[in-house]
Amino acid sequence: MSREKKTSKGKQRIEMKKIENEEARYISFSKRRNGIFGKASELSTLCGADLAVLISSPAGRLHSFGSPCVDLVVDRFLSTGAVRSSGSVHEQSRRGQTVQDLNHRLMELARRLEDAKAKKAALEERLEAAARGLDCERIDNLGLDELDRLMESLSRLKARANARTAEILTGISHKPTAVDHVGPWRHGGISTVHSDSDGLGVQCPSNPVLAVTSQFESAAPRSNPLMETIDFLDINGLFEEF
């Protein structure tokens, strides 16, 4: 009596389309997700690669796997556009924090610069108003000595105005600054801010802040060149009320 030989379909290729049965779809997702994470772990172990795998399930739940850490790899990718390992995880984290601190300092300098521009505009308007009070026609009647005294007074006034403008722009009052020296009224300069902890620095864009130096300070008691100039002009009839 002969037996009928059972036929088997054998190993068949799965058609690449969405699984219609919901239960079967979830089971397949779970198996294949674990398989992807396993392959990623092998790649990291064998090749020393830093990687991150992010998967959203059909139900909307997020699953992730990373080596050494998902957050670290994603942050490096978003900030530099490339994954490049240099140093330990702790060293990379420290550098990232340093960059954030420098960015905060740069934003603060930019805010102070905007405030200083408004103060500078107000100061220039006051100086222009004072200049309109000069009777330039009467200057022609001054002698050489009087003209020299007038020029000297105006020079001192200009120096004090430059010093005060630079002082306002830097937001400091008679204190040393860590920003490289930039002369008064100089535009387009580039300053370098240094980190006190590890020597790292960031180069700020064009003219983020103007520095004031000790060249405008004097050890001798200060006079008031503005009042001296006004008194001189008033005595010689060159100043008119406005």
* Predicted confidence band of residue 6 (pLDDT cuts 50, 70, 90): low
pLDDT greater than 60 at residue 236: no
Provide mean pLDDT across the span 44-64.
Answer: 88
Check if the beta carbon of residue 104 is closer than 8 Å to that of residue 92. Answer: no
Give the pLDDT of residue 116.
86
Q: Which helix (H) or strand (E) holds 52?
A: strand 51-56
Residue given tokens 């108003």 in the structure block: 129
pLDDT greater than 80 at residue 192: no
Tens of pLDDT, residue by residue over 7-34, are: 565 666 777 888 888 888 888 888 899 8
Most confident of 1-10, 186-195, 204-213: 1-10
Q: Which helix (H) or strand (E) holds 36?
A: helix 22-47
Contacts of 127 (CB under 8 A, 6+ apart): 161
22-85 adopts what CATH topology? Answer: SRF-like (3.40.1810)
Strands 201-203 and 192-194: antiparallel
Please report, as a single letter, which amino acid is at residue 198.
Answer: D
CA distance 188 to 45: 51
Q: 3-class SS at 119? A: helix
Of 177 and 232, the one with more pLDDT: 232
Find the farthest-apart pair of alpha carbons in the chain and give their distance in angstroms, rounded: 144
CA torsion through residues 135, 141, 144, 146, sign = negative
Give the pLDDT of residue 220.
41
Contacts of 77 (CB under 8 A, 6+ apart): 52, 83
Domain range list for the chain: 22-85, 102-235
Share of the chain above pLDDT 70, in %: 56
- Least confident stretch, 77-91, 114-128, 158-172, 195-209: 195-209
CA distances from 32 to 21, 26, 27, 55 (A): 16, 10, 9, 11
Tens of pLDDT, residue by residue over 108-165, are: 888 888 888 888 888 877 777 666 655 555 667 777 888 888 788 888 888 888 888 7
CA distance 222 to 57: 75
Give the pLDDT of residue 46.
86
CA-nearest of 208, 187, 210 to 105 is: 208
